Amino acid sequence: MNRGIIIAIQLLIVVSFLALWEIGARTGLINPEWFSPPAEVSVRMVRELAQGHLWMHVWATTVETMVGFFFGVIGGVAFGILLGMTPRLCQILMPYLLAIYGIPRPALAPIFVLWFGIGLFSKVVLIISLVYFLLLIYVIVGIRAINPLLLRFVRTTGASRTQIITKIVIPSVMPYIFAGMKLGIGLAVVGAVVGEIIASRVGLGYYVYQAAQRADSEGVYVGLAALGVMSVFLVLGMERLDRRLFHWRQDVKI
Amino acid sequence: MASLDIERGKSAVVVDDSTMITGGRLLLGIVLLLLWQFYPELFGTNPFWLSRPTLIFGKAIELYQEGSLLANIGATVFETLLGLGLGCVLGVAIGLAVGATRTMREIFEPFLLIANAFPKIAMAPLFMIWFGIGLWMKVAIAFSLVVVVMALSTYSGMRTIRRELVNITRTMGASEGQIFRKIVLPSITPWLFVGFRVSLTFALIGAVIGEFIAAQEGLGFMIDDGMATFDTELVYLALLILFILVWCANSVTEWIGHHFGIGEDSPTMAYTTE
């Protein structure tokens, strides 16, 4: 079907959904204390943005997400390459790494609060625990996928370890790193939100949770909308970057 | 979170010194366990921070005899399974509907991708307003995580079905039911399987986060209660049980996958977030 018609239908769906919601809440068909009318939510949203309260929370969540994501990626890639290049160590550690990977890490949030307090640091650690192991495993799988003949060949031509890493290993695992980052950015946002719901004084997760505690559903929707825009922006942005850089490869399989 | 058959990779970087590797693994395990048990004496730290295996084990026995251990595990498992079941039913239905025709795909794909990119876990407080602090709040959180994963994996499976195959069989006079059973179902089964594996863990996480927010029982409640009373044995015991539950679930699904040959060329869940 025509691209324009598709977009028109999509807009129609969104608009009629919001309209039904608005009408339902106004006429009392659906409980307005549960489903605040979208018009009031947007008014509140504009007010909060103008007063600047919301920005502080958006900023806090963004900082947590980006800092945790950054260190998780850097650490995961570095340790992944180290393990990928030392197969024996890798095989010894692998069952343990997979075991840690299998822990439902958002459930560890209270432990990180216990260890690191309720500030930025405990959220960053939670995010790192999510992103680090993901990247680690993607990088190891990526290194395994390098053609062994290529490695053997450059070794016979006298390439040093550093040369092998910079000229072959890193370029080969790049698509895997980006595939891991694509997943990791979403996990990072989740980690930040979970950390903020458990214990925090700032951030969008905290904002939503506080609003819910006051039974202020308008505030909940404002927080969720802000969070939605932020995470969709980050996740789809990452996806777009990945597609632009690695459009030539097939989906990375792990 | 797809199946990670790293162990069986066939590449030059894999060495096969099986005795050394098994020995190394065992040794590492024993060292870690001993460190965990004796770190307070070794480093002079307070055993409060990490607890100790023997203390955790003692706690498990104590709670088991008291009867609360199994009740708490049961509560969490019940919430998880309820959220998982409901989420799978609706998720698969959505995936089938969105993947049904090209027009449906073009219209609804962006909605699926946005739902996937949204951190569903943040809706937990909203569910608290909607459903109170009882069972259904936890079920709703688990459900919200599962439904998107299942919808997306079913949809991804639907996209791999070859149009011509369906057209040819239809020309040969196959009914819609036959097409579904003979073509659609076999094509999407591996995807359903992978989605289900991811969903198991997600549902459990959802239930536990719900219990963090408000609960009177369950593993999340044990963790929360332990934190509130500075009873770290309780916290680590609950986490350990959670880990064992995930491990069992993964082992069972892996076994089923191998037994029925489903997960063999398992597709990637290229983009799922909680």
Q: What is the pLDDT of residues A135-180, one digit of tens each?
A: 999 999 899 888 889 888 988 998 888 888 888 899 889 989 998 9
User: Out of B11, B250, B272, whose CB is closest to A144?
Assistant: B11
Residue A102 pLDDT exceeds 90: no
* Spatial separation of the C-alpha atoms in residues B121 and B83, rounded to whole Å: 14
Contact A148 B103 (CB under 8 A): no
Confidence of residue A29 (pLDDT cuts 50, 70, 90): confident
Q: How close A88 comes to chain B (CA, Å)?
A: 7
Q: State the pLDDT at residue B19.
A: 83
Residue B273 pLDDT exceeds 70: no
* Spatial separation of the C-alpha atoms in residues A214 and B129, rounded to whole Å: 10
Contact A189 B24 (CB under 8 A): no
Confidence of residue B16 (pLDDT cuts 50, 70, 90): low
B228 touches chain A (CB under 8 A): no
B270 touches chain A (CB under 8 A): yes
Contact B129 A84 (CB under 8 A): no
Contact A146 B11 (CB under 8 A): yes
pLDDT tens digits along B234-256: 999 999 999 999 999 988 888 88
CB atoms under 10 Å from CB of A146, counted, come to 19
Contact A151 B124 (CB under 8 A): no
In chain A, what percentage of residues exceed pLDDT 90? Answer: 59
Contact B270 A113 (CB under 8 A): no
Residue B267 pLDDT exceeds 70: no
Half-sphere exposure in the Cβ direction for A34 (13 Å, CA):
12
Best CA proximity match to A192, nearest among A56, A76, A101, A67: A67
Best CA proximity match to A227, nearest among B199, B274, B118, B88: B118
* Spatial separation of the C-alpha atoms in residues A90 and B14, rounded to whole Å: 9
One-letter-per-residue 3-state SS of B123-137 = HHHHHHHHHCCCHHH
* Spatial separation of the C-alpha atoms in residues A174 and A139, rounded to whole Å: 8
Kindly list the residues from chain A whose CB atom is less than 8 angstroms away from the CB atom of residue B4: 98, 101, 137, 141, 254
Contact B242 A220 (CB under 8 A): no
Contact A232 B103 (CB under 8 A): no
* Spatial separation of the C-alpha atoms in residues B84 and A3, rounded to whole Å: 36
What's the whole-model pTM score? 0.89
Contact A254 B4 (CB under 8 A): yes
B131 touches chain A (CB under 8 A): no
Residue B59 pLDDT exceeds 90: yes
B86 touches chain A (CB under 8 A): no
Contact A6 B106 (CB under 8 A): yes
Kindly list the residues from chain A whose CB atom is less than 8 angstroms away from the CB atom of residue B243: 99, 102-104
Helix (H) or strand (E) segment spanning residue A10: helix A3-27
Exposure string of B38-77, with b = 16+ CB inside 10 Å and e = fewer, is eeeeeeeeebeebbbeeebeebbeebeeeeebeebbebbb
Contact B13 A212 (CB under 8 A): no
C-alpha radius of gyration, chain B, whole number = 23
Interface test with A, best of B5, B7, B11 (most A CBs within 10 A): B11
Confidence of residue A31 (pLDDT cuts 50, 70, 90): confident
Q: State the pLDDT at residue B12.
A: 43
ipTM here: 0.90
User: Out of B118, B122, B208, whose CB is closest to A104?
Assistant: B208
Arithmetic mean of pLDDT over chain B: 87
Angle, alpha carbons A30-A31-A35 (nearest 5°): 85
Contact A231 B224 (CB under 8 A): no
Q: How close B182 comes to chain A (CA, Å)?
A: 27
pLDDT tens digits along A46-93: 999 998 889 999 999 999 999 999 999 999 999 999 998 888 888 889
A97 Cβ neighbours under 8 A, 6+ residues apart: A133, A136, A137
CB A174 within 8 A of CB A143: no
**Cβ pairs bridging A and B (under 8 Å):** 201
Amino acid identity, position B181 = R
Q: How close A61 comes to chain B (CA, Å)?
A: 12
Best CA proximity match to B146, nearest among B196, B220, B105: B196
* Spatial separation of the C-alpha atoms in residues A146 and B222, rounded to whole Å: 46
Q: How close A146 comes to chain B (CA, Å)?
A: 8
Give A84-132 as a DSSP string: HH-HHHHHHHHHHHHHHHHS-GGGGHHHHHHHH-SSHHHHHHHHHHHHH
B123 touches chain A (CB under 8 A): yes
